[in-house]
Amino acid sequence: MRFLAPVTVGLVSLFFSPVLAQYTDPSAPFNLVLLSSTNTTLNGSSLAACHTGAAIESLCVTGGAVSPGSDTFTLNTSASAPSPPPAIGNPGYLIYVLQGSNFNESEPLSLYIDPASNVALPLFEPGVESTTYAVAFDEKGLLNIQSYVDDTTSPPTLQTKAYYRWYACQTYFLGYQYLNLAFVLGEAEPQNPTCQKVDVTRVFV
Ligand SMILES: *[C@@H]1O[C@H](CO)[C@@H](O)[C@H](O)[C@H]1NC(C)=O
Ligand SMILES: *[C@@H]1O[C@H](CO)[C@@H](O)[C@H](O)[C@H]1NC(C)=O
Ligand SMILES: *[C@@H]1O[C@H](CO)[C@@H](O)[C@H](O)[C@H]1NC(C)=O
Ligand SMILES: *[C@@H]1O[C@H](CO)[C@@H](O)[C@H](O)[C@H]1NC(C)=O
């Protein structure tokens, strides 16, 4: 067996280790809204937390504008995590609070990945898991996921970059079929033919 010495990476890479940062500083509550440059039905549609398994919710497209009953979300950030460039936003966990008759569960957003597809499904699930990813809102209010390693070059480019690979797609998960917000892994087009490119913004309540 061989062990390779890791390439020297600065402190900044620690930031992407999910176990180190505690994301417990909540933002004010907001609604999530789609922006689409091509589809006027999707443009301005709010996102809701849709039941897709026991204590699991996806971000489904409501097809309607934000209204007083729309689901609200918060971004839990961390005062101790190193900050990326302000233009792309300070990452944190996107939180939906699942309310039961005798509990409130703060659920962070994770990405469900099926190895057969490049279309990952954002899901709210209890507990911080290895599939929980921090997201950020940039200076224009657009939702992104940031990564430090860009492997489309050799050697890889080590620099924090924001990715906006959000789509509205008809998805299938545990028997539930919705028009959901999805995130496409990598540079390629989504292989799910129903996917339509969108951006996601927030509107504070
Ligand atoms: C989000 O922040 C609130 C307030 O500190 C905390 O109660 C909750 O546990 C946090 N959620 C997660 C998933 O860390
Ligand atoms: C989408 O909605 C935004 C915000 O309401 C608006 O500024 C923009 O013109 C709309 N785009 C289209 C193509 O309708
Ligand atoms: C806009 O999106 C809706 C929802 O997916 C879809 O039914 C409709 O066909 C789309 N319209 C266009 C012009 O693509
Ligand atoms: C859950 O949160 C709601 C809204 O903040 C509150 O009214 C309710 O009492 C909470 N329930 C529990 C069990 O803490």
Contacts of 199 (CB under 8 A, 6+ apart): 34, 35, 36, 142, 143, 164, 166
pLDDT of residue 22: 87
Query: Which residue's CA is minimally distant from atom 14 of ligand 3?
Result: 39
Cα 182 to ligand 3 centroid, rounded to whole Å: 16
pLDDT of residue 2: 57
Query: Which residue's CA is minimally distant from atom 6 of ligand 1?
Result: 24
The reply to whether ligand 2 has any atom less than 6 angstroms from the CB of 40 is yes
The reply to whether ligand 1 has any atom less than 6 angstroms from the CB of 76 is yes
Which ligand sits nearest to residue 60's alpha carbon? 3
Average pLDDT for runs of 10 along the chain of length 205? 50 47 93 97 98 96 96 94 85 96 96 98 96 96 97 96 98 96 98 98 98
The reply to whether ligand 4 has any atom less than 6 angstroms from the CB of 103 is yes
Cα 199 to ligand 2 centroid, rounded to whole Å: 11
pLDDT of residue 3: 54
What distance in Å separates the CA atoms of residue 43 and residue 83, rounded to the nearest whole number? 31
